[in-house]
């Protein structure tokens, strides 16, 4: 009798616990379904404008090209400039963060000359940026130290949807 009473009380406790577990499961299912119906945070598309120039005498633009690209934060945009004795490959990756936007700039440069042969340089910089603010890069050094020099002007802004990518090249003054 004691054994059947003990078994009966365990069975009653087990049966009493079933509705509570079912209620918990229903509540968990509702929470999961509401969480899955919420849209994940959207990454805002970015418009990136890259103006590449060759400057002679530090000021006069001998050649210019403008590239526009649409990208997402964390997705790199690259350019490659090829001259008679130089190749510049640059990759720009914008990141939007709560504490401010940054741009990671990676550059690779190959320069050929008669004395040293082919020389390779690489660099990587993380730069805080504001949308619409132009960032100036001189992959071969500042315009005062070299003639001719290469200047890259990069501007990152929020993509508005009506701003299509374009590519324009000039061989004279801009």
Please give the helix or strand (H or E) that residue 8 lies within, else none. Answer: helix 2-37
Q: How far apart are CA 109 and CA 103, in angstroms?
A: 19
CB 122 within 8 A of CB 108: yes
Which three-class secondary structure state does DSSP give residue 47? strand
Q: What is residue 10's predicted lDDT score, i.e. its pLDDT?
A: 38
Query: Is the model's pLDDT at 54 over the cut of 60?
Result: yes
Query: Residue 168: which of 69, 65, 88, 43 has the closest Cα?
Result: 65
pLDDT tens track for 27-49: 555 554 544 444 445 678 999 99
Q: Which residues contact 46 (CB under 8 A, 6 or more apart)?
A: 70, 71, 72, 73, 94, 96, 156, 157, 158, 159
Q: What is residue 13's predicted lDDT score, i.e. its pLDDT?
A: 39
Q: How confident is the model at residue 127 (pLDDT cuts 50, 70, 90)?
A: very high
Please give the helix or strand (H or E) that residue 94 lies within, else none. Answer: strand 86-95
Q: How far apart are CA 102 and CA 73, in angstroms?
A: 10
Q: How confident is the model at residue 128 (pLDDT cuts 50, 70, 90)?
A: very high
């Amino acid at each position: 009798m004691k054994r059947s009473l003990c078994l009966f009380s365990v069975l009653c406790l087990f049966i009493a616990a079933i509705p509570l577990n079912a209620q918990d499961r229903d509540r968990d299912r509702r929470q999961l379904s509401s969480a899955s119906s919420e849209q994940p945070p959207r990454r805002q598309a970015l418009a990136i404008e890259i103006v590449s120039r060759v400057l002679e005498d530090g000021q006069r633009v001998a050649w210019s090209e403008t590239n526009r690209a649409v990208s997402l934060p964390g997705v790199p945009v690259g350019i490659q400039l090829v001259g008679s004795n130089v190749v510049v490959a640059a990759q720009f990756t914008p990141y939007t963060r709560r504490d401010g936007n940054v741009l990671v700039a990676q550059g690779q440069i190959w320069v050929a000359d008669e004395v040293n042969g082919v020389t390779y340089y690489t660099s990587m910089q993380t730069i805080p940026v504001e949308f619409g603010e132009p960032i100036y890069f001189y992959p071969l050094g500042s315009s005062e130290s070299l003639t001719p020099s290469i200047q890259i002007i990069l501007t990152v802004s929020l993509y508005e949807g009506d701003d299509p990518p374009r590519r324009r090249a000039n061989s004279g003054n801009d």
